[in-house]
Amino acid sequence: MSFFEFFSPYPRRSTPIDLSDPTEYIVVQRPLRRILAFTGRSIDDVVNNSIVKREVLGYYKLHKQIHRSAEVRDLERQWNAIPR
């Protein structure tokens, strides 16, 4: 181990990643953070300005609608699968 590896801020992996591992990794998505990043607003803007609050609310409702329609489409695809 070199001097730079010893003082590195990144943890060292002792073993390589096993891709055959059945572990499933889940990424938590926070829609409010994504919407604020998309609109370029901060949470302070949302709290202090009613126009920005309505804009972010509109984008949140659109996000929910798209997410639900994707879930419905996936379920319909699963239920109506053509057996082979």
Q: Is residue 36 a contact partner of residue 43, using CB atoms and an 8 Å limit? A: yes
Domain definitions of the chain by residue range: 3-79
Q: What is the pLDDT of residue 14?
A: 62
Biggest CA-to-CA distance, the chain: 59
Chain-wide mean pLDDT for the chain?
A: 82
Average pLDDT over residues 26-30: 78
pLDDT at 75 over 80: yes
Q: What is the pLDDT of residue 17?
A: 64
Q: What is the pLDDT of residue 43?
A: 93
What is the C-alpha to C-alpha distance for residues 15 and 11, in angstroms, rounded to an integer? 12
Using one digit for the tens of pLDDT, what is the confidence trace for 37-68? 999 999 999 999 999 999 999 999 999 999 99
Q: What percent of the chain has pLDDT over 90?
A: 50
